[in-house]
Structure 1
């Protein structure tokens, strides 16, 4: 457990039962040693400019992009980096559409789980030549290198995952400790509601962000993609719908991406937030109360995706060599990964960066490191064919959202979703 007082600005760093052990151990081993824009359709630029497409709206995540631009421009005289905001739910379609028109960005920062989808859609250029020649590639575990049919298309500069943030002031007022089981969580939310507070914030969007946030609660009831079971899925959906019916979770969550729920939590008046390590910067700058993080209170079967953004080169980049130099000097460099740590709170993917004091001295990162060991799960599941990832995530996100919003019963939603997923897994 870790608690941080509001108003104290810390150097808090950016946004599988397997992420392979190497990725986990690079961070967890170092922690153990310490503790025990513009928008839209812009295409790539001229010889002295590169464009970087991203979907960040949180101020701290945008600052990382701005800091990277500054880093690169200072070492490349006369070069301009243009960061281009593309909404999360439009990123893949815009990238694939741009590739179809033989245009697009120089650099792409995207949901790592979508690497296969984008590669199959022709939106990413192969990076084998650059990656194989990269002197520091041994600092990265294979699990953050995204390949399809033996071809490397992108690499993650960091790892992100979910935990349970809590308002320590509210918990002290209602006389409870941070929960370690779901029963304790629900009891705490009931007490918070009785005291006039909201119980929890999370995302219920009907797309991949919803699936990302739903999976821990579904998996703890025994649902997996290896053997999709409608009864297990129904149990997970029914529990979450109960939170809405009991008044712990607002039904407005179906309209929230992962940024909005944390903004609601940081504003005060909410006991818990299911959100990620990348929110540390927002917590430090916005929360006016004591807060902390614990692992999500899941059962033995619970799983938490290990994700984060991957970075690649657009398939029709006008400056692919300069794009690689940008990635090498920002996302993939040790110094660049610490920029992301300090601004946002992401876990570095480089082994050496994982041993930096910015990581090892950060109490808030320890619960996330513990989660990697206890609950870490591949994102996406390795049993989902690359061509089916987007459809599976969409199906589950829509299912989660429909139940939270009351459009479908847990039983009907689970039966329909499992039938669809079974067909997608056979692609």
Structure 2
């Protein structure tokens, strides 16, 4: 389990960082597609569904999961096959957009939710009617549906998200009896922990997966919105964290902490609370020598959300058999068996509501992350479009400037909002 969870974390972080860096943008936008076009009739009358994915071969867990999903489809539809075609993550969006040139593309696609680019390019099928007629539609929460203009273009079957890990031994020693559900309650708990231990392990580094993912529950908890950016809510966010930093509740070098580097400090037993994800469960079980647990991220005066990572699955607009393409996903990634595979193989949280009582989800840590999905929101935010990377960079720069003490909360918040205004938000 530990190895599987760690591998999932590595591949997820790599995809996010590649996309954040914008590697390869534009190179494949209009390149002719030489392989992986929509499936057609094969020898002996068999049918092939072509599935584009970005799972690197070195990620044995994820590649094994892809093969297991293909096997589920082929078991449900004897005589049919799923052809797994690898497309590098940094090329996926632009290569999909390029399929509009010659109207040839994959039957089905794994992607990371770039609907603001893919939907206008008209390279994804509208799944609304199929979903409405599907007898499994009531098993998927609204947060699992990738929508634009009221139409469904993708469905997510699992999620990766952050929660608040805690060291129960430290909390017991410091007299923290109530687990925090709000920012105020978290502040009270941190005050009890004091400076004997690191109160809150949080990523202060400024890149995409750190500032934006770990900051999301805090800035959304004060009502900050990328699409309607205002200084006030973000200044409140930065003031709260800066006050905790100055009080000694955050590590002295918090500005260098990342989502990856923070968790080993937690499992070493010197951190009371740690913001991190479900993919760390294997590491916690293997390395922590203390009692630990997780609760959903505390909420602010305006509530708050957490980003839900995890792949989205769509039918290509140029599939020769869109009905079969839909069925291939319904028989694999969206099925009950497929959803459980993403948990048991990689530690991801199934979104199907009819799996709440499944024995595989009864681990208390997994249960808490599953509860936290009700506060989940799509990543990236709908409406950021092609400015998603620049918007994340703006947040990351301000976040790190505040965490390092180089800027006051007010100045850091103003710099983020100014940068977003320049992008047209």
Which residue of the other structure, out of 239, 250, 253, is the alignment partner of 2:254?
Answer: 250
Deviation at 1:153, TM superposition (A): 1.0
The 3 A distance-change label for structure 1 pair 66 and 410 is farther
Name the structure 1 match of 2:298.
297
Deviation at 1:155, TM superposition (A): 1.0
Aligned residue pairs total 379
The 3 A distance-change label for structure 1 pair 95 and 85 is closer
Matches within 5 A, 1:146-295: 146-172=146-172, 176-177=176-177, 179-180=179-180, 181-187=185-191, 190-191=194-195, 194-195=196-197, 199-202=200-203, 204-207=205-208, 210-224=211-225, 228-241=229-242, 246=248, 248=251, 250-253=254-257, 256=258, 258=259, 261-262=262-263, 265-266=266-267, 269-284=270-285, 287=288, 289-295=290-296
Deviation at 1:128, TM superposition (A): 4.2
Q: Higher relative contact order by CA 8 Å / sep ≥ 6: 1 or 2?
A: 1
Q: Provide the secondary structure at the position in 2 that maps to 1:125.
A: coil
CA distance in 1, matches of 2:86, 2:342: 18
Contact persistence 1:306–1:379 (CA under 8 A): yes
CA distance in 1, matches of 2:267, 2:52: 29
CA distance in 1, matches of 2:93, 2:256: 26
What TM-score does the superposition give when structure 1 sets the normalisation length? 0.68
Name the structure 2 match of 1:311.
313
Contact persistence 1:221–1:233 (CA under 8 A): yes
Name the structure 2 match of 1:411.
410
Name the structure 2 match of 1:330.
332
The 3 A distance-change label for structure 1 pair 406 and 78 is farther
| 2:123 paired with 1:136 | no
Which residue of the other structure, out of 31, 36, 41, is the alignment partner of 1:44?
Answer: 36
CA distance in 1, matches of 2:66, 2:268: 25
- Compute the RMSD of aligned alpha carbons: 4.4
The structure that has the greater radius of gyration is 2
What TM-score does the superposition give when structure 2 sets the normalisation length? 0.69
CA distance in 2, matches of 1:167, 1:81: 45
CA distance in 1, matches of 2:222, 2:417: 15
Deviation at 1:67, TM superposition (A): 3.6
The 3 A distance-change label for structure 1 pair 208 and 280 is closer
Point out where structure 1 has 5 or more consecutive residues left out of the alignment. 1-5, 16-39
Residues 355-394 of structure 1, C-alpha deviations (whole Å, 9 max, x = no match)? 43433x3322443455456xx2644698x64647726455
Contact persistence 2:204–2:254 (CA under 8 A): no
Q: Comparing 52-61 with 216-225, which one deviates more in the overlay?
A: 52-61
Residues 248-275 of structure 1, C-alpha deviations (whole Å, 9 max, x = no match)? 263233xx4x556446645665443212
Contact persistence 1:201–1:270 (CA under 8 A): no
Point out where structure 2 has 5 or more consecutive residues left out of the alignment. 10-23, 29-33, 41-47
The 3 A distance-change label for structure 1 pair 379 and 168 is same
Deviation at 1:160, TM superposition (A): 4.5
Residues 16-54 of structure 1, C-alpha deviations (whole Å, 9 max, x = no match)? xxxxxxxxxxxxxxxxxxxxxxxx999526664734424
Which residue of the other structure, out of 358, 361, 378, is the alignment partner of 1:356?
Answer: 358
Deviation at 1:415, TM superposition (A): 1.2
Name the structure 2 match of 1:36.
none
Q: Provide the secondary structure at the position in 2 that maps to 1:120.
A: coil
Residues 53-100 of structure 1, C-alpha deviations (whole Å, 9 max, x = no match)? 24689876666445434434555567355374745xx36654556546
CA distance in 2, matches of 1:207, 1:400: 11
Residues 110-150 of structure 1, C-alpha deviations (whole Å, 9 max, x = no match)? 344x3333323445333346434533223334442223234
Q: Comparing 60-69 with 135-144, which one deviates more in the overlay?
A: 60-69
CA distance in 2, matches of 1:316, 1:404: 47
The 3 A distance-change label for structure 1 pair 108 and 185 is farther
